[in-house]
């Protein structure tokens, strides 16, 4: 499908989705939101795709929700239109998404990165929730996800002052999994995505679901859930193949069953 505000490239077992509104630093407007939702719906049912890299430009992953679009909206406009509600579908996407972030990831951009399964940051990345400076607050999950990533004190400081965090601080704080020189970011993200896409996709989906469960439940319930899913994996062909391949000292040939 042809998109106006994003590009989608399918490369072997992975997809690369690039935010592409350079004149607005990839600010998230209705069109971009709808296109992202459509692209991920397409990837979800594409059996060849095992993992997606979501990225932006060198200057900005995304500088937030589109302020010019929101400026004149009323309460009823955003309530009836369920402004940015589409992002819940991306957060619920069952396959892994790696955010490859260079430059600004602010407001909705930071929130979009946090919706992904992990964030690889270029050394140029800057994260922030500056909405308070616009007289509002984060509205696509920032108050909740940022707090879970970096703890209350830092999240409170960032959301109340609007200050940005550089890549080194983001790594120290647990917001990103790794910092990579900017010129190597996309290659590294693609390498990680290809590695994931080469695993049993059944095991990948179950692992993602189970880690995400840790955000929604108590430790005891989470461990019980993990045990049940782990047991269920013994009903898959990929468990037999993976373990047999190890014993036979060869690479596994997973069939995602
Ligand atoms: N919405 C709409 N347009 C934006 C934008 C945004 N979030 N961020 C940048 N732009 C536009 C600018 O208006 C500018 O357009 P023009 O050339 O037409 O003037 C263009 O992108 C380039 O931006 P700048 O000239 O400002 O670039 P800079 O390098 O001087 O500054 C920046 C970069 C610090 C990121 C600055 O653009 C900025 O502060 N942007 C806004 C960041 C922000 O407040 N984000 C939060 C948005 S609210 C939100 O996200 C709510 C939510 O949680 C749902």
- pLDDT tens-digit readout, 46-73: 999 999 999 999 999 999 999 999 999 9
Q: How far apart are CA 171 and CA 20, in angstroms?
A: 26
Q: How far apart are CA 201 and CA 252, in angstroms?
A: 13
- Of 206, 205, 257, which Cα lies nearest the Cα of 235? 257
The whole-number average pLDDT for the span 211-224 is 96
Say what the alpha-carbon torsion angle 105, 81, 40, 53 is, to the nearest 10 degrees. Answer: 0
Give the residue, by CA position, lying nearest to ligand 1 atom 2. 66
| Residue 1 predicted with pLDDT over 80 | no
Q: What is residue 185's predicted lDDT score, i.e. its pLDDT?
A: 98
Which atom of ligand 1 has the smallest separation from the CA of 142? Answer: 53
Q: How far apart are CA 249 and CA 257, in angstroms?
A: 21
Rounded to two decimals, the pTM is: 0.97
Q: What is residue 128's predicted lDDT score, i.e. its pLDDT?
A: 98
Q: How far apart are CA 167 and CA 153, in angstroms?
A: 18
Q: Is 67 in the pocket of ligand 1 (CB under 6 A)?
A: yes
Q: How far is the CA of 133 from the centre of ligand 1 (A)?
A: 12
The whole-number average pLDDT for the span 4-21 is 97
Average pLDDT of the chain to the nearest whole number: 97
Tens-place pLDDT, residues 148-171? 999 999 999 999 999 999 999 999
Give the residue, by CA position, lying nearest to ligand 1 atom 42. 63
Say what the alpha-carbon torsion angle 89, 92, 93, 96 is, to the nearest 10 degrees. Answer: 140
Q: What is residue 206's predicted lDDT score, i.e. its pLDDT?
A: 97
Q: 165, 127 in Cβ contact below 8 A?
A: yes
Interacting residues of 216 by C-beta distance below 8 A, sequence separation 6+: none
Is 131 an annotated catalytic residue? yes
The strand pairing partners of 166, in sequence order, are 126
Q: What is residue 250's predicted lDDT score, i.e. its pLDDT?
A: 97
Q: Assign residue 122 a region (left: φ > 0; alpha: ψ between -120 and 50; beta: otherwise).
A: beta
Give the residue, by CA position, lying nearest to ligand 1 atom 41. 63
Q: What is residue 202's predicted lDDT score, i.e. its pLDDT?
A: 96
The whole-number average pLDDT for the span 202-222 is 97
Which atom of ligand 1 has the smallest separation from the CA of 66? Answer: 1
**Greatest pairwise CA separation for the chain in angstroms:** 65
Interacting residues of 144 by C-beta distance below 8 A, sequence separation 6+: none
Tens-place pLDDT, residues 69-108? 999 999 999 999 999 999 999 999 999 999 999 999 999 9
Q: Is 139 in the pocket of ligand 1 (CB under 6 A)?
A: yes
Is 31 an annotated catalytic residue? no
Is 111 an annotated catalytic residue? yes
Q: What is residue 70's predicted lDDT score, i.e. its pLDDT?
A: 97
Sign of the C-alpha dihedral computed for residues 69, 7, 87 and 65 taken in this order:
negative
Q: Is 254 in the pocket of ligand 1 (CB under 6 A)?
A: no
Q: Is 24 in the pocket of ligand 1 (CB under 6 A)?
A: yes
Q: How far is the CA of 16 from the centre of ligand 1 (A)?
A: 24
Tens-place pLDDT, residues 92-150? 999 999 999 999 999 999 999 999 999 999 999 999 999 999 999 999 999 999 999 99
- Of 25, 26, 50, 34, which Cα lies nearest the Cα of 1? 34
């Amino acid at each position: 499908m042809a998109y106006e505000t994003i590009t989608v490239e399918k490369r072997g077992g992975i997809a690369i989705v690039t935010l592409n509104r350079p004149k607005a630093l990839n600010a998230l407007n209705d069109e971009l939101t709808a296109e992202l939702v459509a692209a991920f719906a397409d990837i979800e049912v594409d059996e060849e795709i095992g993992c997606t890299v979501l990225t932006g430009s060198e200057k900005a992953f995304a500088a937030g929700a589109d302020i010019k679009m929101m400026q004149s909206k009323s309460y009823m406009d955003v309530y009836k239109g369920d402004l940015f509600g589409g992002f819940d579908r991306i957060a619920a996407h069952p396959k892994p998404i790696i955010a490859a972030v260079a430059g600004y990831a602010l407001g909705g951009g930071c929130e979009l990165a946090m919706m992904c399964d992990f964030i690889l940051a270029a050394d140029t990345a800057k994260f922030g929730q500056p909405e308070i400076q616009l007289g509002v607050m984060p509205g696509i999950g920032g108050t909740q996800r940022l707090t879970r990533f970096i703890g209350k004190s830092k999240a409170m400081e960032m959301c109340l002052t609007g200050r940005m965090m550089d890549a080194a601080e983001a790594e120290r704080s647990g917001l990103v999994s790794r910092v990579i020189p900017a010129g190597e970011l996309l290659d590294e993200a693609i390498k990680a995505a290809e590695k994931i896409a080469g695993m049993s996709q059944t095991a990948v989906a179950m692992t993602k679901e189970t880690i995400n469960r840790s955000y929604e439940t108590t430790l005891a319930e989470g461990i019980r859930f993990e045990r049940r899913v782990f047991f269920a994996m013994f009903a898959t062909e990929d468990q037999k193949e993976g373990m047999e391949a190890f014993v036979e000292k060869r690479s596994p040939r997973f069939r995602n069953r």
